[in-house]
Amino acid sequence: MVRTRSQLAWVPGEPTEVDDDLDERIDRARALLSGRRVVAMTGAGMSTDSGIPDYRSPNAVPRAPMTIDMFLSSTDFRRHYWARNHLGWRHMDAALPNRGHLAITELQRQGMVSGVITQNVDMLHIKAGNAPVLELHGCYGRVCCVDCGWQISRHRLATILEPLNADFSARIRSRGAIEVAPDADVAVSDTGDFAMIDCPECGGALKPAIVYFGESVPKPTVARGYSMIDDADAVLVLGSSLTVMSGLRFVRHAHRTGKTVVIVNRGHTRGDDIADLKIDHRCAEVLTRLAQQS
């Protein structure tokens, strides 16, 4: 897994130049998708213009993620995760939908996009008013007990953790800019003094309602994803390299069942060989122009 480096005050760069080939490809996408029910399937590249770094863009910097096995194996690993999340989750919470998310809202209003399947945990599709939205990997806004299933909102948990960790937060923030990752955490190594709570109901470990690396997407979620694909005529992949099977399987299913596949992503994807059209460009730019031309 790779993630781009960012600071808490990260500002999106200027849009890349639009060339003649891009004009032609957007026209082709419009022709392929117009008059059809389209499911948008989005990945981390969809949210970069909202200040949330992605995983596998051409300029990404390698950084090892925490797997579900690591998280469950050790109190120290869990403390380390929650310390990073404590410092980073409000960066994600403060993020606003970018013009790509808003373009999907417009494409839904026009009747083209029938729903969204997202690999992102940032809730930006919800904030933008996209509906329905299937969150394949969960979202950062809920926390649950791995043993009994007790739940609490991330905002409510913050009110408990903040007074317990005032000194920890002040110590880390005194260093200046912090590297932010796409899944609501930051790059911090010295976390031994962070205080975390356990489930108040059973004493079990608390975990974000996010599908970790090495963890399976719940079967009902997968089934709903297949249903959304089956009810559509086409799939529009946005900002995903389709590296993980949780997203790739839906694109392969769409291809096997004769549906149109259009991919918009910076760089190579695992679905390029089955796509009817691939556009190597920023999602926000392509979607904005597609919505204007529809």
Report the pLDDT value the prediction gives residue 56, as an integer from 0 to 100: 53
Retrieve residue 54's tokens. Answer: 């992605």
- Omega within 30 of 0 (cis) for the link into 132: yes
Coil, strand, or helix at residue 65?
Answer: coil
Query: What CATH class does 2-293 carry?
Result: alpha beta
Report the pLDDT value the prediction gives residue 294, as an integer from 0 to 100: 57
Report the pLDDT value the prediction gives residue 18, as an integer from 0 to 100: 45
Judge whether residue 5 has pLDDT over 50: no
Sketch the domain layout of the chain as residue ranges: 2-293
Instruction: Return the active site residues.
Output: 137
**Average pLDDT of 31-47?**
96
To the question of whether residue 148 is assigned a binding role by annotation, the answer is yes
Report the pLDDT value the prediction gives residue 182, as an integer from 0 to 100: 60
Judge whether residue 292 has pLDDT over 50: yes
Coil, strand, or helix at residue 210?
Answer: strand
Judge whether residue 214 has pLDDT over 60: yes
Band of pLDDT at residue 173, cut at 50, 70 and 90 = confident
Q: What is the mean pLDDT of the chain?
A: 88
Which range is least confidently modeled, 5-14, 69-78, 201-210?
5-14
Nearest Cα to 112, choosing from 39, 27, 24, 29? Answer: 39
Judge whether residue 262 has pLDDT over 90: yes
**Average pLDDT of 35-61?**
83
Place of tokens 């149109």: 260
Q: What is the DSSP letter of 49?
A: G
Judge whether residue 60 has pLDDT over 70: no
Percent of the chain residues past pLDDT 70, beyond the cut:
87
Retrieve residue 32's tokens. Answer: 């392929």
**Spatial separation of the C-alpha atoms in residues 280 and 294, rounded to whole Å:** 20
Longest dimension (CA), the chain: 61
Counting beta carbons within 10 angstroms of the beta carbon of residue 14, is it exposed (0 to 12), middle (13 to 18) or buried (19 or more)? exposed
**Spatial separation of the C-alpha atoms in residues 199 and 155, rounded to whole Å:** 16
Please check whether residue 282 is in contact with residue 16, taking contact to mean a CB–CB distance below 8 angstroms.
Answer: yes
Percent of the chain residues past pLDDT 90, beyond the cut:
77
Which range is least confidently modeled, 49-53, 57-61, 152-156, 244-248?
57-61
Judge whether residue 157 has pLDDT over 70: yes
Report the pLDDT value the prediction gives residue 169, as an integer from 0 to 100: 92
Give the residue with greater pLDDT, 94 vs 7.
94
Per-residue H/E/C for 228-279: HHHCCCEEEEECCCCCCHHHHHHHHHHHHCCCEEEEECCCCCCCHHHCCEEE
To the question of whether residue 283 is assigned a binding role by annotation, the answer is no
Which range is least confidently modeled, 4-13, 53-62, 140-149, 164-173?
4-13
* Beta bridge pairs of residue 87: none
Alpha carbon 199 to chain centroid, angstroms: 26
